[in-house]
Amino acid sequence: MGDPKFSRAHFERPSHPWEAERIKTENELLKKYGLKNKKELWRSQYTLRRFRQRARELQALVRTGNKQAEKEREQLLRRLGRLGLLPLEGTTLDDVLSLDVEALLSRRLQTLTFLKGLAFTPRQARQFIVHGHVSIEGRRVKLVLTGNMSTGGTSIDRTVDAHPDNVEIAEMAARVVGLDVTPAMVEKARANLARLGWPQVSFQEGDAEALPFRDSEFDVVISNGGFNLTLNKAKAIEETYRVLKPGGRLMLPESSRAPLLRLVTATSRLHASSEGDVETHYWTPPE
């Protein structure tokens, strides 16, 4: 099964890579729905395949008079109804089996944003969502920070760049510190900050293997590729947990490689056994 904190592939690649008709159909769907790559299409196909597989299993069980199967059938139909894939009433398992992948793709926020006329193209709709310009019931939708962070906490970002991740949490935290080993990048980040005018955000130069902060000073540490640029990764991770408060969070990109994740997990367990629990969360960096 593996460690539940490690991300797994939620799609299946085609069994045959060079089918001309399938490739043509996939490319048309990518263009029509503004998908970033074929993995996003395969993920929708995988989700649909699971729904259809469960519907076939429940059909067989319902025929035998299984009461639990009847209950799960209603749960499945209600779930698909809430997702907008089927009507909320008057549906059967046959309706689940008749769904195609475009039914799922048409319910994506990107597609709905385009169809409502809020963007000129599906690609532009995706850009609006990524940059936080789309709201649902008054709440902005952003592809950032899947882990929870309480308002008023303190955060450190171990790398800064032209559009620092600190910007994404500046409104949520009482104090945000950006750290980078390169003086030029720190100056560039400070120039950006001068235009934004956020007093709770600061940037400073520092080494990840010897963080210039006190023990247990931060609630959250965000590292978007910072560990990959460090020679002594184990020391950098130790320093990260040193400055985190008990119960704090280390947040890493979902694209982090397995060796780094194993090292982080091992260090987290050692740290938790001696100084209190520290959680590791995975997030999707903005494009």
Q: What residue segments make up the domains of the chain, in order of their start?
A: 20-105, 109-140, 153-283
Cβ(134)–Cβ(108) below 8 Å: no
For residue 42, the model assigns a pLDDT of 94
Per-residue confidence (pLDDT) for residue 247, from 0 to 100: 73
- CB neighbour burial string for 17-31, b if at least 16 within 10 angstroms, e if fewer: eeeeeeeeebeebbe
Instruction: Give Cβ neighbours of residue 36 (< 8 Å, ≥ 6 apart).
Output: 126
- Judge whether 27 and 37 are in contact, CB under 8 Å: no
Confidence at residue 162, expressed as pLDDT on a 0 to 100 scale: 38
Eight-state DSSP code of residue 205: E
Place of tokens 């996003």: 40
Pairing of β 279-283 and β 244-253: parallel
- State residue 238's pLDDT score: 84
Which H helix or E strand runs over 41? helix 38-63
Residue 258's pLDDT is 55
Record: fold of 153-283: Rossmann fold (3.40.50)
Using CA of residue 254, residue 34, residue 105, residue 38, what is the dihedral sign? negative
d(CA 47, CA 99) in angstroms, rounded, equals 11
CB 133 within 8 A of CB 143: no
Q: What's the average pLDDT block by block, 10 residues per block, for the chain (287 residues)? A: 62 88 95 92 93 95 92 93 90 94 92 89 87 73 40 54 50 75 81 78 84 85 73 82 80 57 55 43 42
